Every structure is written in C-alpha cells, then in structure tokens.
Amino acid sequence: MNQTALITGASGGIGADLASLAAQDGCNLVLVARSQDKLEQLAGELQQKHGIRALPFACDLANPESPRQVFDFCQKEHLSIDMLINNAGFGAYGAFTELPWETQRDEMQVNMCTLVALTWLFLPGMLERAAGKILNVASVAAFLPGPFFNIYYATKAFVLSFSEALSEETRGSGVTVTCLCPGPTKTDFFHRAKTTEFNSIFMPMHSSDQVARTGYAAMLRGRPLVVPGSANKLSTGLMRFVPRSLLRRISARINRI
C-alpha cells in the first residue's frame, strides 16, 4: 500500500518540490495551501506523471481552526498520514512597531501554532502504528536574532527547538522528526515579505529544488537536523562562538535594506 504524505505550503516553492519528490517515491499526497487553483494544477500534474493520488485541500493556515479542518478532511478520506511535512510559513519585513499587528499575529499562527497543532493531531496515529516521519521547515534564521524580521526569526527558533525536543521524545518509537533549516532560497518569500531585495554578500541563494532534495533525504534517513549548503553549515556552526551582541549587529546589517 502506498504511503501518504501531507504537505503544507504545497502550492509553490519548497513545498511543491517536496510534493514532487514524495510523488516520485510513489506516495499519495494531501496538498494544503490557500490557492485552490494552484493546488488542483499541481495535483493533476503529479497524478498524471506518477500515477499517485493527490488531494488538494485549500484553507488559510492563519485560521486557528485550520489544523482541525485538515485533520478532519483526512479522516473523512480515510487517510493515514505517514509523512507530515510542515512547510508553510512566511515572514514580514519591517520594524516591529511599524508592521500591522494582524500581520504579525498571522505570522506566529502559521509558522508556529498551526505547525504544532498539526503535529499534535497526526503524531498519535504515527506512534500507534510505530511508523512515521515528520519534517518541519525552519530556517538558518533560527540560529540568531533578526532585527527587521524579528517575528520571523523568533518563530523559526521556536520550530527548531520544538523539533529537536520532539525528535528526542520520539526516539526509538518508529517515528522520526527532522528540522530543515535552509538559508536564502529562490521562492516568493521576499515578495510576500514586501521586500524584493536580499543582501547576498553574506549568504548564497539556493534553489527550492536543492533545498527540498536535501530536506527530503534527511527526513527519509531520520536525521534530527539538516542545514543545506556548505556556506550555511559553516555560518550556523560559527554562530555558536560569536557573542550575541555581535550576532545582533550582523543580522541587522544583513536585513537592513
């Protein structure tokens, strides 16, 4: 029987590439994002190309009720989720006091609360079956404070800490938890963040396909943490030896556009 992967933020970028990789492995898919049209198009393409079943489910993950809606949809379709890929997330650029509260609230809801709620809903079934894989997409932003992207960086630090802790909790259970921490990636992230520029002097830009392949392979191996790209690995390693006061200034330099 084919396994089933649930992927949030699946309508484009890293999420769509992760969906493609899972489909290549013969996994059936539940594709979750806001855009019904994009999800239906991707589902059709993957079904035709790989002969799998792909179900689109459009919802706004900023809605606190959305995790239960996703779970109920899977229950209605009699689906056991073998791979939960929490990829959905966004960032908002600007000074904390100048950004609308509603935007920052939604950012925390999507990046943290929805991710945790989906994990809480689907993990018990995996533990009962003694099999399952969870991939949570964080960022290299998780390793340092982020002036002008402060909520985004803070949420990704939460995802990293939550994922590593849960990985240890589930050790030996048959379920693995992997945290993917990519650096800057060629997606629509910066457009949605309302900044079209990035100071690439400090970190190289990777393709979403490269990031997805690295994260997917690490999830299959059950690795707790993966940072794609040698420069990103080096940067996150060096951060442990840099004073926090200096990290704050470096981060502000990177983000100040």
Using alpha carbons, select from 168, 169, 136, 170 the residue that is nearest to residue 155: 136
| Beta bridge pairs of residue 207 | 186
Side-chain half-sphere CA neighbours of 98 within 13 A: 7
List 93, 152, 153, 216, catalytic entry = 152
Single-letter code of the amino acid located at 81: I
CA distances from 120 to 33, 114, 117 (A): 19, 10, 5
Nearest partner of 180 among 45, 2, 3, 9, judged by Cα: 9
Establish whether 152 is a catalytic residue: yes
- Integer-rounded Cα Rg, in Å, for the chain is 18
Residues 16, 90: Cα–Cα separation, whole Å = 15
Give the helix/strand (H/E) hosting 179: strand 175-180
Q: Which residues are catalytic?
A: 152
